[in-house]
Every structure is written in C-alpha cells, then in structure tokens.
Chains A and B, each alone.
Chain A
Amino acid sequence: MKDSLKVAAWEISKMLKNKSFLISILLAPIIMGVFSALPALMARVEEDRGLHLYIVDELGIYETLAAHAPALNIVLERHTGDLAALQDQISGKPGSAYLVLDEKVLAERRATIMLGGDGLPTLTALNALLESMLRQLALQREGLPNEAIISALTPFSIDSASLTQAGDSMARVVPAVFSAIILFGVYITGMMILQSAMAEKKDRMAEVILSSVSAESLMQGKLLGYSVLGLLQILSWLVFGAVVAQYRLNIPVFTYLWRPELALSLFFAIAGYFLYASILVAIGSTIDDLATTTNFQSTIMMIPILPLLFIQPVIVNPNGIVATFGSYFPLTAAGVMLLRLGLSTTMT
C-alpha cells in the first residue's frame, strides 16, 4: 500500500503541474456557464426587439388584448383599413405581423398570425392569452354566466404522491444527483486513467517502474491518484454549479446536500468509479498507443452508459425485479443504486 501511495502522489503531483489539466479545471465551468447562459441571452436580445402586431378585430376583444400587450413585449395596433394594403405594408418586415379576429375564427376555432418576414418569434404567451380569450368569448356566446365561464376555464392540476415517501423529496434527490454527477464526471476522466496506464509503455518506463514496485502497487497507485484528480476536477465544477444553483436559481442545494443520504450516495459513486477505472487500467495496460484504443472504444463507452438502460424500469418501480437485478450486476450497480436512492425510501 505504501508503494501505491507513492505512485498515487506522483500521478497527482504530475497532473497538478500539467498546465492543460489546470486549464481544463478552470475552463470547463466557464465553457458550461457560457453555453448555458449565452443561448438564453441571445434569444432575449431577439425577444427584446418585440413584435408589432396589427389586429383586425371584428369580435370586440382588442381592448382586453391591448391591456395585456405590454407584459407580452408586443406592440398592438388596431387596423381598420384595407387588408391588402396592410399585407403590402408589413410584407418583408420580420418584426411585423397581423391577426384577423372575425366570426370565421370562432366558427373554425382557428386563428392564424400572419408574419411579415422570416423567423419564428416566441409567441407562446400571446397564443395562450388569445386561446383563453377566444374560449371565453365562445362560452359567452353560448349564454353561460361569467362564474360558470371562470369555473370552466380554471384548469385542474393532477399530481401523485407516495404514502411511503413522506417529507421533502429534494432531501433524497439532491444528494443522489450530486453523487451521480460525481460518478459521471469521473467516468469522463476515465480516458486519463487509460492514457496513464499506457504511459509507462509509451515512455518505455514500464521495466524501470516494475523493477521498483509490483504491478499491483503501480495499478493501485494510478487508480488512487486519478480518483483524487477526477474528484478534484469534478468538485471544482460542482462547487461552481452549486453556487450558481444556490444563489442564481434559488435552489437551496447546500441545505439538501449535507444529509446522511449523501454518504451512501457517495459510496456508490466512488465504488462505481473504482470498478470502471480498474477496467480502464486493465485495458490500458494491454495496449501500447491511442490508436489501438479505438479497438476498445465501444467497450469503454458502453460501460458508463449501461445504467441508462435501467432508468425507465427503475423509475416505474424502484424496488422491482429490474431494479434489484441492476443493483446486483456490478457494471450497473452504482448507477442503479444512485437512481434508487433518489426515488425510494424503502429499498428492498
């Protein structure tokens, strides 16, 4: 074990002095942040340009619609003139559109917003508002009193709850998700282990090292070293993610995280890592270069995605036959157990 620790310390110190590794630690959260925030930011820029919507209103609902328009970032304008002239006016203008609200709309239960140019602006909120107003109008025409209309338009919410899962489900889910991210993240660092196992042969150091320590100590040292490096990498990302979740998305991650469930979840995540890493080290020790790795690509990729096959049946029944089998099968045990920990309090 002493030799393993020496090897582990060497691998850790070697990687921590490696600029590309350090850059990857810092760069990954930045890239993740940019990629998660940028599309929404860019969409907002387009949304901020707003939509100029001309309404040809023959149903008498323009005033009500206009009252909601500012909240929807839409400029409404009533059009009373020639429709053909309006079409000519907005044609070729991406930010302009018109909508005809007439008896035909009520009869066919269909309204079409005609866009002046290319592109599909986000009209979900406008569509929902129009749908509600038109439904209300149709019900009024049927002669229903206002109370009945409001009652008819108020939606029902259907939920499900478990008798065995009292309390806050987030308390179970957050530690399991946290551990699953660690497990997944360490899987990603698996290639580092593979390359490290090949390094001795590539650098022609195998004989020197194996004349100093046993093959077992060398492999154990690599597993230990890269587990620390992988965890370090993932934890730095998770800290970044947790801070964002806590303060930006207002999810009290830290409150839910420090629960007894975390210890159990972490155990399965780390045990899963060691199993996966052992397989990679074994593969790495049998091959000489990265080109040969392609022969093992499918095997390497298959191992971490195996638990995905169990997701659906485990969600349906976290204590069923499939879940139990997945818990006992080594290659899926870690993933399935993390899923079960998040879904069930009465594991059998």
Chain B
Amino acid sequence: MSTALELQNINKTFGGTQVVSDVSFAVKAGEIFGLLGPNGAGKTTTIRCILGIMYPDSGRISFSFGSDRHVARSAIGYLPEERGLYKDVRVLDLLLYLANLRGYSLPKARLRAMTYLAKFGLEGREKAKIEELSKGMAQKVQFIASILHEPKLLILDEPFSGLDPVSQNIVKQELRELSSQGTALLLSGHQMNVLEELCDRIFLMNKGRQVLYGPIDQIKEQYADHKCTIYGDNEGVAFERLPGIKQVTRDKMRTTIFLAKSVEVQQFLHSLPQGIDIKELSVDRISLHDIFVSVAQGGVPHEG
C-alpha cells in the first residue's frame, strides 16, 4: 500500500504551550488509521495542521496526491467533531456546494448525493432545509458531504457520536467499502470499541506526544495482557492470592482478574479454586479502551 499522508516531526505551540510535539506518522492508501488520545492530547490540532486550517511551527506534511495545498484540499474529505451545517439551506444545495468547493463535477455529485441520501434513509429529503432535519439526520448529511467528492484521504473526527446503532453500522460498512476502494481513512475519537473494530493501525498520543504507534494487533500483543471476567457470587474468594495476578476488580457479581504477562491462560484456569460460583466466564486480552485509559493515566510506557 502506498502512503497517502505522511507527517514528519510536526510541532505546534500555542502561547508557549507545546500542544503537538514531534509527531510523525503515515497513513497508507486503503487502510483505516486511528488517531487516538484523551481530551487535550493534540489530536484536533494535528488534524487541523493536516487540513491546512492552521500551519505547524515546524515539521513536514506531505500527500501522495499532490504537494499543492489546493490539490490536497480537493482530495481530502473531512468530518469535524464539532458538527454543524448551514441551517436555512436545502440538503441537496448544501451537498452540491461543498462538492463544488472541492472541485468535484456537479452532475456526478448530484447523482452520488441522491444515492447516498437513499442509502442513509434520507430519500425524498433532498429539498428539505437542514433546520427541518433531526440531529441524527443532519449528521448523516454531514457524513455524506465528507465523502461525496470521492476523497483520497478521509479524516473523520468522532464519526459515530450521535448516531444510532443502525446508522453506525451503515457508516462502518461505508468506511470499510471506502477503504477497500483505496481511500485512506484517518479516524479520530474516543469510542474505543468501534475504533478497535475498524482500525488497522493506530497512533495513540497524550499531551501532544506519541505514546503508541503501529498495527493494532501488535500493540495489543505488546501491551495488552489477559484478563478473566467471572460472573457469579464470589464475594469471599481471595483471587488476589492466586499466582501471577496483577489486580482484581469487583463490581457486584462481576469479578475481573488481570493476569501478569508471564501467566499462561490455561495455567491460570487450572489454578482457580474449586467450588467458586461461575455463571459466566470469559478470558480475553485487555481492550484498546483499557490501554487508552491507562495511557490517559500515564500507565503505558512511551514507545522508543
């Protein structure tokens, strides 16, 4: 896969505060890339630098589809976290205007707009004013606007927030389809379960700096140990005394046992005391969500 976007040593300072520090990553054509981090990590500033809304103090941003800023703009689709649309204009007019600004052919844009509106359950609403739509509908329109001009790089900030589960599935499906067609996708957000499900690689940042960067499986392999969740009445059971246990958390009937890296899952299962109450039992790796929380609390070491 060729590199669609590359950031090299990006730095940005606001009023003496370094909000992005030496950030470097690349997004390949056809991959879904996650830009993650807690609030204030510097994700939005990084995205704004990519989009040319603001300029980095130092570093280099390059696109495979042209170094000219105008060309780059027309090949990028963007869905910002702060959702909004002109209120008093018609859906189709707005979609065509935004496609036109990106230099996309209007007849083609009209055709695609009608297809996508139908796909997202907005058939027949093309002449409705934005103010007449529900919040969820308006978000769908904004999503359509970001992909209508067939971007080579699609940047989505919190793409699933505010969408109902059905719409989330449609968006997920659409993103996978775009990815399979060679569009480079950069997703930013906090809904770790969804991003974990979609992303091929991630860049996790905190306080403007890189924390983790690489394929999601490798990161989970490297940083995510196993955890065992038991659902049952085990209030008096001292799981903490078992060998290789890092931490035990209890929430009513649910007990989560975090295993040390050295512990084999099978060995742990054999070590469970006889007679404990097991209504449900699952063993899995720590999720991206857990890693994220750990990062936010400064728990994961910086990668070289």
Contact = CB atoms under 8 A, between A and B. Distances in A.
B86 A212 contact: no
B53 A211 contact: yes
Contacts of A212: 73-74, 98, 101-102
B88 A10 contact: no
B89 to A, nearest CB: 6
Contact-size category for A? 10 to 19
Nearest to A212: B101
Chain A interface secondary structure, helix, strand, loop or mixed?
A: helix
B86 A203 contact: yes
Given A203-B86, A207-B78, A213 B100 contact: no
Given A209-B101, A214-B69, A14 B84 contact: no
Given A207-B80, A213-B73, A199 B53 contact: no
Given A3-B101, A6-B100, A10-B97, A207 B86 contact: no
Contact of B98 (A13, A208, A210, A214): A208
B76 A205 contact: no
B27 to A, nearest CB: 16
Nearest to A207: B80
A211 B51 contact: yes
Nearest to A199: B86
Q: Which of B51, B98, B101, B102 has the most CB of A within 10 A?
A: B101
B199 interface: no
A208 B79 CA distance: 7
Contact of A211 (B76, B88, B89, B100): B76
A208 B88 contact: no
Interface string B70-97: 1001101010101111111100010001
B52 interface: yes
B73 A14 contact: no
Q: Which 3 A-B pairs have the closest CB atoms?
A: A204-B84, A212-B101, A211-B51
Interface of A: 3, 6-7, 10, 13-14, 18, 199, 203-205, 207-214
Given A7-B101, A10-B97, A211-B73, 12 more contacts: A3-B101, A6-B101, A13-B93, A14-B89, A18-B88, A204-B83, A207-B78, A211-B52, A211-B78, A212-B74, A212-B101, A213-B101
Interface of B: 48, 51-53, 69-70, 73-74, 76, 78, 80, 82-89, 93, 97-98, 100-102, 142, 145-146
22 contacts: A3-B70, A3-B101, A6-B97, A6-B100, A10-B97, A13-B93, A14-B86, A14-B89, A18-B88, A204-B84, A205-B85, A205-B86, A207-B78, A208-B80, A208-B98, A208-B146, A211-B51, A212-B73, A212-B74, A212-B101, A212-B102, A214-B69
